[in-house]
Amino acid sequence: MVNRRNAVRILLAAALVLLGVYLYTSGKQHQMFVDNMGVEIDGRTYAPEASVRVAFDGGEPLELASGDRDVTQVVGPSHSVKVEVLNESGDVVKTLEGEFRWVSAKKGMFSIPAFLGGAPSPMIDSPGAE
Amino acid sequence: MNEKLKAFIEEAGWPRVIIGLFLLSLFVAAPFVRVRVDASISDTLVRFGMNGILVLAMVPMIQSGCGLNFGLPLGIIAGLLGAVTSIQLDLTGVLGFAAALGIAIPLAVLLGIAYGLLLNRVKGDEMMIATYVGFSSVAFMCMMWLLLPYTSPNMIWGYGGSGLRTTISVEGYWLHILSDFLSIQIGPYLYIPTGMFLFFGFMCFLMWAFLHTKTGTAMTAVGSNPEFARASGIDVNRMRVISVVLSTVLAAIGIIVYQQSFGFIQLYMGPFYMAFPAVAAILLGGASVHKASMVNVVIGTLLFQGILTMTPSVINSLLQTDMSEVIRIVVSNGMILYALTRKVQVKR
Amino acid sequence: MKAYTPKEKLQHFLISNAVPIIFILMSAIAIPLSGFSATYLVQEMLIRLARNSFLVLSLIIPIVAGMGLNFGMVLGAMAGQIGLILVSDWAVVGMRGLLLAALIATPIAVALGYVCGAVLNRAKGREMVTSYILGFFVNGIYQLTVLYAFGKLIPIANSELVLSRGYGIRNAINLAGMRHGLDYLIPLRIGNLNVPVGTYLTIALFCLFIVWFRRTKLGQDMRAIGQDMGVAGAAGIPVEKTRIIAIIISTVLACYGQIIFLQNIGTMNTYNSHDQAGMFAIAALLIGGATVSKATIPNVFVGVILFHLMFVVSPMAGKQLMGQAQIGEYFRVFVSYGIIAISLALHAWKRQKDRERARRSLRGEA
């Protein structure tokens, strides 16, 4: 029987399911690798910086030298990032802020050179994926 | 035929039928998974003897209308005190066993009277209160086991020097004193603890005889119709106290028999959940919340202990996991739940 | 109608609040013995108030409906734990994780609550034992699910949650991602103490809910059923259905209560947490002066504070007094069970006396 009462119930159930989906996607914590190595995407190569400092979603910054790889946790599907390129004495030479979206656990590595070089997405294949 | 089967299931109740079939299938499956049937039967028999009297302890209170005695730990505590004191006095063999009983029984009578007087004031709510009386007495004794001035080096903590151990071996005192009396050993696996069975049989006989005395019939009358009993001049409260005392005394005897077979006295939280298997067993045997017989005790204990012995060995070899604990919880509490929800339904 | 003298009033007050008064006296003796500082105890009580109040509050509605102490609240706690296990497997963190856990657990809690209510309808007059045994029974099914189905039938990706044999959930689960998710949702620090504002607000909301609920049609129906099932039925109140609803509400709330409790603690004992939840909540409510047939919101808070005061203090007091902390620990177990036994007994006794008096007056008039 599709009367008003049942319709309300179905709508309510659907709303709760949607809320669940929203909570799942927006609250899911991902393990993300952060990489400062040379990388090739779609035929373009991006060279690493000598030393960078990177912070995700306004959190604790990580410092990576050329060839370094680190791991961090991010929550949810879209993120802000702030990359500061440092010179030898540790001063900030260049700052770049931007947004990116989480793709999948398979593409779970944030490539700093790709981000600084303006690649369409900074996310590249995770080291464990292959 | 079909009608007869239906009537039988109706009579026995579907949980009992399911559990009976389950046990049967376990015995059938046992040889296929290389579990020795004779060893299993032997285990079942030993456990049957160990637990029989504890289950028997349910009978008087059920008969007098006090419900299922979830307060069994109270009597068990009396038994523990008797056992521990007998070891403290360094009494061995039959003498030690008799001393344990001799100390435990008067204690159980005293505790039983107090417990019975309490239950007389809470008619209708006996079971819940009994549960918590049992629990709190166990917790109280936990403190006492630490504080009581027992000194036998076999019982106290080695390093601390004070307080009793959680498990105390009765080896060298009265281990298997009943079990080994006239015991029969067939082949390397099958062992029948005749003495324990004789003792259990004797207790059942006493209980049966008691229920046929004037006091016993009066007690049953109180259970089946308190108003009628009162009208015919029976002192309802006195009958109830007698039943509680009997139950408590049987629990005390039961635990000592249990220990002499098991080999250890378990103190502290040991007796905590001991009421539940006994309650489940008698219900499994066909008793209800207000009616129980010796047949219920024997069948129930055999079935319940059969399941407890067979599930670990058979299910383990079948599925490679130990599910016995979970099965025990589901079976025993399911049985109690069935009995609790059934009586009202029949009445209506 | 005669007016009460102050002395009679005092007497009445003392009798009706005997349990809390005894506990206050006991604490007054035990606190100096334990040697804990006042600031420590206040902090500890603030934390425990946040941690436990919700669980205890969930017991109120069945009492209003005359169903006694809902020992079946452990069913709700189990549902909450299943939600938390799944969410920690999916690594959903923070407040969103807790909400998702609650969202998943709600249908389970509703189903379990329905079963519990239906079973209790078949055991009228002995709801408490029945719900108590039902708790054990469902605990068996919970273990079956968590120990055997999780990781086999229900996929668990996170190997940290799974036993080394490949299925079944480990004994202890670290809820680090969700820890204090609700507590510190709204950050506030007083001195060096983080105040769990979020949890307090939730508890306050819940209290308002109870106050409001009692005034609704459903709440009034429940009260009528609590007073006399027969009369309520004759007045056209659907007794059985209303009783089921009371238990469902209690179960669902206990489920949220358990989630709040565990997010505050931060680790979950997969196979023990729910058992303790039931016992502690019931003991706390009774210590607060509630009875099987009457419980108010102040009972809950007084009870939580007194019970946990004893809980914190008694091991240390036992150590100072007897030289063994173990004694204090057994003492608090003894008190938790003893208080339940005494409260139940007193209540049953009083009810029996009332019945006898009623019978006598009937006979007298006839």
Q: What are C301-353's pLDDT values in tens digits?
A: 999 998 888 888 887 877 777 777 778 788 888 888 888 888 888 878 877 77
User: Could you tell me which of A97, A113, A107 has the C-alpha nearest to residue A52?
Assistant: A113
Residue B348 lies in a domain: no
Domain assignment present for residue B27? The answer is: yes
pLDDT for residue A2? 64
Model confidence at C365, in pLDDT bands (50, 70, 90)? Answer: low
DSSP letter (8 states) at residue A27: H
CB count in 10 Å sphere of residue B141: 24
Closest chain B residue to C119, measured at CA: B341
- Which strand (E) or helix (H) includes residue B191? strand B190-192
**Residue recorded with tokens 């008969």:** B63
Distance from CA of C71 to the nearest CA of A (A): 29
Report the pLDDT value the prediction gives residue B159, as an integer from 0 to 100.
63
Q: Domain extents for chain C? A: 53-291
C91 and A26 within 8 Å at the Cβ level: the answer is no
* B242 contact partners, CB below 8 Å, separation of at least 6: B60, B64, B116, B215, B219
> Looking at the predicted structure, is the pLDDT value of residue C107 above 60?
yes
CA distance B278 to chain C (A): 14
Q: Which of B325, B340, B345 sits opposite C126 (nearest CB)?
A: B340
As for how many domains chain B has, the answer is 1
Q: Is residue C17 classed as helix, strand or coil in its secondary structure?
A: coil
Q: Tell me what pLDDT residue B303 has.
A: 86
pLDDT of residue B346: 41
Q: Are the beta carbons of B337 and C326 separated by less than 8 Å?
A: no
Taking an 8 Å cut-off on Cβ atoms, the answer to whether C93 and A16 are in contact is no
Pick the residue from chain A with its C-alpha nearest to C92: A28
What is the per-residue pLDDT for B271?
84
Q: Distance between CA C113 and CA A9 in Å, rounded?
A: 19
> How close A101 gets to chain C, by Cα (Å)?
17
By Cβ distance, the residue of B131, B143, B325 closest to C334 is: B143
Among the listed residues B113, B49, B48, B47, the one whose alpha carbon sits nearest the alpha carbon of residue B78: B113
3-state secondary structure of C262: helix
Q: Chain C contacts of B128, Cβ < 8 Å? A: 126, 128-129, 132, 344
Which residues does residue A44 pair with via DSSP β-bridges, in sequence order? Answer: A41
**Rounded to the nearest 10 degrees, how much is the dihedral formed by the CA atoms of B147, B151, B153, B157?**
10
Sign of CA pseudo-dihedral A11, A13, A16, A21: negative
Nearest by CB: C103 against A23, A28, A30: A23
- Quick one: closest CA in C to B323, which residue? C144
Which amino acid makes up residue B18? I
pLDDT at residue C245, as a whole number: 92
Average pLDDT over residues C14-19: 75
Residue spans of chain A under pLDDT 50:
129-130
Q: What percent of chain C has pLDDT over 90?
A: 25
Residues of B in contact with C331 (CB under 8 A): 143
Domain span at residue B196 reads: 2-343
Residues C113, C256: Cα–Cα separation, whole Å: 13
Write the ipTM.
0.82
- Using alpha carbons, list the distances in angstroms from residue A93 to A16, A37, A51, A114, B83: 49, 19, 10, 18, 83
- Mean pLDDT confidence for C349-364: 77
Taking 80 as the threshold, does the pLDDT of residue C177 lie above it?
Answer: no
Interchain CB distance below 8 Å, C97 and A20: no
Distance set, CA C75 to CA B7, B82, C79, C103, C264 (Å): 35, 39, 6, 16, 20
CATH value at residue B52: 1.10.3470
DSSP H helical ranges for C184-296: 197-215, 217-227, 229-234, 239-265, 273-287
CA dist B71 to B113, B245, C264, Å?
13, 12, 35
The pLDDT score that the predictor gives to residue B348 is 32
Span C18-43, pLDDT tens digits: 778 888 888 888 888 888 888 888 88
Would you state the structure tokens that stand for residue A114, as one six-digit string? 């790709």
**Sole residue written with tokens 């004992």:** C269
Alpha carbons A45 and A113: distance in angstroms, whole number: 9
Neighbours of C351 (CB within 10 A): 17
Most confident of B190-199, C56-65, C176-185, C344-353: C56-65
- Give Cβ neighbours of residue B154 (< 8 Å, ≥ 6 apart): B87, B168, B169, B172
Contact by Cβ (8 Å): C96, C182: no
The CA distance from C331 to C47, in Å, is: 23
B122, B123, B329 member nearest C143 (Cβ): B329
- Per-residue pLDDT tens for C247-305? 999 999 999 999 999 998 888 888 888 888 888 898 889 888 888 888 889 999 999 99
Binary contact (C344, B125; C-beta < 8 A): yes
C347 to chain B: which residues are within 8 Å by CB? 125
Can you give the pLDDT at residue B1? 59
Q: Along chain B (348 residues), what's the average pLDDT of each consecutive run of 10 residues? A: 74 76 82 79 87 90 87 90 88 86 92 91 83 89 85 74 78 79 77 86 91 88 84 86 92 90 85 86 82 86 85 75 79 83 51
Q: Which residues pair with B111 in a beta bridge?
A: none
| pLDDT tens track for C66-104 | 888 888 889 999 999 999 998 888 888 888 888 999 999
- Between B10 and C46, whose confidence is greater? C46
**Which residues from B are below 8 Å from C337, CB to CB?**
132, 135-136, 139
For chain C, the residues whose C-beta falls within 8 A of a C-beta of chain B are 119, 122-126, 128-130, 132-134, 136-137, 139-141, 143-144, 147-148, 165, 322, 324, 326-327, 330-331, 333-334, 336-338, 340-341, 344-345, 347-349, 351-352
A9, A12, A21, A29: best mutation site toward chain C, by most C Cβ within 10 Å? A29
Query: For position C289, what pLDDT does the model report?
Result: 84
**Residue B202 to residues A11, B56, B278: CA-CA distances in angstroms?**
69, 12, 19
Nearest to C103 among A16, A28, A30 (CB): A16
Mutate to test the interface with B, among C330, C352, C354, C359 (most CBs of B within 10 A): C330
